[in-house]
Homo-oligomer: A and B are copies of this chain.
């Protein structure tokens, strides 16, 4: 998503050239390119699919069917991780606890289905500024509280610096999640201000903002995480740039800030 202006073949070509060993994919461009073709493209290039984004949005009536499809797609792509953005309040509701209960119920339905296909559901807590409309799971503690009801091989959490950096309880949650083998993805983005309208597309380049990214890498790895590190930037300015240059700069930022 950081370089969504690139086609899948361009993305794969330049990741290989730059020594990036894996890519996180989103469902929409994969569907557009063709699921099997995308899987073959990435596999033949020697890259891994680090995760698929995204399942979740359990507010809608047909969400379970759509999430089973997302699990199938993750399995077809050869990734073991489906990221869940769980959805916010039900229409007309002001009850966040009810939203979290509904999310838990949906995950209970999906977890065995995912496990049978070798896919782990990774609950991503989103920053509290998204609690109403995108994700009622706002902290790592809340995500873990849900995940811990299921086997770690079925359900874990995403640690995304953009969403959890402000939370003084997050480091302890990372340690607890890591000890249980429940850190299923680790994503980086920096926090820059002022936030743009709608607060969706202002994630900062690594090093441009307020987050001590290296500290978070240390925390996650000290908790036992050995998986990939994804850079996920939703950023209007980056999307308006040349995709190959943005990819090159992102690799350079990564090496400088957390490498």
Contact = CB atoms under 8 A, between A and B. Distances in A.
Contacts of A138: 166-167
B94 A195 contact: no
A96 B166 contact: yes
A191 interface: yes
Interface stretch (A8-16, A23-31, A107-115, A207-215): A207-215
Interface string A20-49: 000000000000000000000000000000
A127 B127 CA distance: 10
Contact of A95 (B166, B195, B212): B212
Interface centre among A89, A95, A97, A128 (most CB of B within 10 A): A128
Given A194-B198, A195-B197, A196-B197, A166 B94 contact: no
A129 interface: yes
A90 to B, nearest CB: 11
**Chain A interface extent, by class:** 20 to 34
Interface string A183-226: 00000000101111111000000000111100000000000000
Given A89-B210, A197-B195, A129 B132 contact: no
Given A128-B167, A138-B166, A198 B198 contact: no
B198 A166 contact: no
Contacts of A195: 129, 195, 197-199
A65 interface: no
Contacts of A139: 168
B199 A168 contact: no
A144 to B, nearest CB: 13
A167 B142 CA distance: 10
Contacts of A94: 210-212
Contacts of A167: 128, 138
A253 to B, nearest CB: 15
A109 to B, nearest CB: 23
Nearest to A191: B132
Given A94-B210, A97-B168, 15 more contacts: A94-B211, A96-B165, A96-B166, A100-B168, A128-B166, A128-B167, A129-B129, A131-B165, A132-B209, A133-B210, A138-B167, A142-B168, A194-B199, A195-B199, A199-B199
